[in-house]
Amino acid sequence: MIIWCCYCQTYIGEKPPLVDYSLSHSICQNCKSSGVFKDRDAFKNIELIRDFFNDLLEKAESFEELDTESIRYKGKTLGIKPLDIFYGIVQPAMWEIGRLTQENKLTVAKEHMFTSFAQRLLIQLSKDIKNHSLSLESCPILIIPAPDNVHTIGVQALGLDIVSKGYACRTIYPGIPDEELKSLILELRPEVVCLSVAVKSHFDSAINLSKALHLQGSSAKIIVGGPFIHEHEELKVAPNLLTFNNMNSFYDFLREKTNVKKAS
């Protein structure tokens, strides 16, 4: 479940069950210390967020063209941070739309239309995020889908999230064949490689890649996340490979266990 601060309308993180993307309302550390929770009116915003979400779903169901600029603007007027619009409104809507399609209550065409909206929205939201991307040759973090994984939105969102936290990274999507990916990592030598996996076969490719890199003396830390990992406990299966299904632990790892520095 997505933990959302009902006072300042901020995305806080996730809590089990992770495969459920509905909002669980809480209070963030900042609002707790500022004492805003004494203000009863603060709760009124929850309804506005709920309306925002329902409006988006209604439009997706009615095949209405979704305008990314007006969504970005609406988020701004509600005081929601750029990526929080994605995490708190669009990602739960994608999950709901995926569920409706699986139950044959929504057409695949409508699902795909919403997916392409989400991709365009991320590009639009990126305008509000300071870019710390470096040249490909000097990137400490490389983000890419695992070979054969066609899910690119998670990679796009992760790249923006990392950049918004002040780290320089390079995001490549769609994915590339495994041999080419191995050569790219050996050539660029990023300290951290984030691989996104959606199904078990992608995870198997990630394990094979990390083993092959290890054999060739690469010291890259292979970090695996994405829908498949979301559904499983943190798994350790190769010496240089780690999995994260919790973004806060991932950022703790970046800060405490790597030499990757925030861009100034």
| Binding residues vs ligand B12 (CB under 6 A) | 91, 94-95, 98, 115, 148-154, 157-158, 194, 196, 198-199, 223-228, 230-231, 244, 250
Angle between helices 44-61 and 108-125 (to 10 degrees): 130
Task: Give me the least distance between CB of 2 and ligand B12, in Å please.
Answer: 10
Task: Give me the least distance between CB of 179 and ligand B12, in Å please.
Answer: 18
Cβ(121)–Cβ(72) under 8 Å? yes
Cα separation, 30 vs 65, in Å, equals 37
Task: Give me the least distance between CB of 75 and ligand B12, in Å please.
Answer: 16
Task: Give me the least distance between CB of 155 and ligand B12, in Å please.
Answer: 6
Specify the residue, 52 or 244, whose C-beta has the smaller distance to ligand B12.
244
Q: Which residues are CB-neighbours of 98 under 8 A, at least 6 positions away? A: 111
Cα separation, 225 vs 179, in Å, equals 21
Specify the residue, 82 or 225, whose C-beta has the smaller distance to ligand B12.
225
Specify the residue, 20 or 39, whose C-beta has the smaller distance to ligand B12.
20
Query: What six digits make up the tokens of 127?
Result: 């305008």
Cα separation, 114 vs 200, in Å, equals 25
Specify the residue, 37 or 253, whose C-beta has the smaller distance to ligand B12.
253
